[in-house]
């Protein structure tokens, strides 16, 4: 039986060579937890599932290893990297440090009310999926929201690309946390309030809501680590639920 959900494998694009195709598909399956943390990566099986030779699959393993998504262990093989809580904390810290500047840039650039429509459309799509009990698109839509938020900040869209590269563990954590409808709805309410505050040009309120949203994500870490201990690495027992000043 294939480790990949074959019905979810998208066709190879005409513009893609075998390496690009393998990287796109395997990266997608890892980030969406279809290939869960700790899962052994079978080169032959993936090559057969994708209809390509083993060489581009092997090259993809090496590339994913450089992105902290695959661990290559001598004499044992390749495994999906576990979610590193340290990198999640660092990524949230980066978002927290950039957040106020990003929101202030939106006001400095005098972004108009209609320009926030893209954020509202994302939130409406999320609400539509939630109303049908479909949580599978939630993490993708939240990530899309962040991306457009950075773009509204002007040149912050260049910074977004760097944050994305550093934040792949956070992205996997979002997919894991949005499997629970209450958590997903809280995320959506946070982002709706944030969008409303920005549209009303209330900078202080927008910054407060944004940091509250990041805090919500951080506080979910211990519970999800307890439920899925085999998914995480660098686990650290917290003596309290207080958020360290250097995180958010």
Q: State pLDDT tens for residues 47-63.
A: 999 999 999 999 999 99
Q: Give the domain 6-80 fold.
A: Arc Repressor Mutant, subunit A (1.10.10)
Phi, psi of 135 (to 5 degrees): -100, 0
146 and 92 in contact (C-beta within 8 Å)?
no
Q: What does the pLDDT profile of the chain (248 residues) look like in tens digits?
A: 456 665 578 899 999 999 999 999 999 999 999 999 999 999 999 999 999 999 999 999 999 999 999 999 999 999 999 999 999 999 999 999 988 889 999 998 899 889 999 999 999 999 999 999 899 899 999 999 999 999 998 877 778 888 887 789 999 999 999 999 999 999 999 999 999 999 999 999 999 999 999 999 999 999 999 999 999 997 454 443 444 455 45
**Rounded to the nearest 5 degrees, what angle is found at the Cα of 35, between the Cα atoms of 137 and 235?**
95
Count how many residues are written for the chain.
248
What mean pLDDT value characterizes the chain?
Answer: 89
Dihedral sign (CA 160, 161, 163, 169): positive
Per domain, the residue ranges of the chain are: 6-80, 83-233
Read off the tokens for 224. 């999800």
Cβ-based neighbours of 64, under 8 Å, separated by 6 or more: 23, 26, 27, 30, 70
Query: Tens digits of per-residue pLDDT, 201-219?
Result: 999 999 999 999 999 999 9
pLDDT at residue 239, rounded to an integer: 40
Report d(CA 85, CA 232) in Å as an integer. Answer: 7
Left (φ > 0), alpha (ψ -120 to 50) or beta: where does 110 sit? Answer: left
Model pTM score: 0.86
149 and 142 in contact (C-beta within 8 Å)?
no
Query: Tens digits of per-residue pLDDT, 137-173?
Result: 999 999 999 999 999 988 777 788 888 877 899 999 9
CATH level 2 (architecture), domain 83-233: Up-down Bundle (1.20)
Report d(CA 155, CA 191) in Å as an integer. Answer: 21
Read off the tokens for 193. 């309030």
């Amino acid at each position: 039986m294939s480790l990949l959900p074959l019905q979810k494998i998208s066709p190879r694009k005409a513009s893609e060579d075998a390496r690009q195709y393998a990287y796109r598909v395997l990266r997608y399956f890892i980030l969406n937890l279809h290939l869960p943390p700790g899962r052994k990566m079978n080169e032959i099986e993936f090559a057969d599932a994708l209809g390509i030779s083993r060489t581009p699959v092997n090259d993809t393993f090496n590339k994913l290893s450089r992105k902290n998504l695959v661990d290559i262990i001598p004499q044992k093989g390749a495994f999906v990297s576990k979610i590193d809580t340290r990198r999640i904390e660092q990524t949230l810290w980066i978002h927290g440090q950039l957040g106020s500047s990003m929101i202030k840039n939106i006001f400095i650039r005098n972004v108009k009310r209609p320009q926030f429509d893209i954020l509202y459309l994302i939130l409406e799509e999320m609400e539509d999926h939630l109303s049908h009990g479909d949580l599978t698109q939630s993490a993708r839509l939240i990530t899309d929201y962040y991306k457009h938020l950075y773009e509204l900040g002007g040149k912050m869209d260049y910074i977004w690309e760097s944050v994305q590269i550093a934040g792949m563990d956070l992205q996997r954590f979002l997919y894991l946390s949005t499997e629970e409808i209450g958590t997903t709805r809280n995320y959506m309410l946070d982002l709706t309030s944030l969008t409303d505050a920005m549209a009303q040009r209330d900078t202080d309120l927008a910054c407060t809501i944004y940091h509250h949203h990041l805090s919500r994500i951080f506080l979910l870490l211990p519970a999800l680590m307890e439920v899925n201990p085999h998914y995480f690495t660098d686990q650290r027992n917290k003596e309290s639920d207080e958020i360290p000043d250097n995180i958010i």
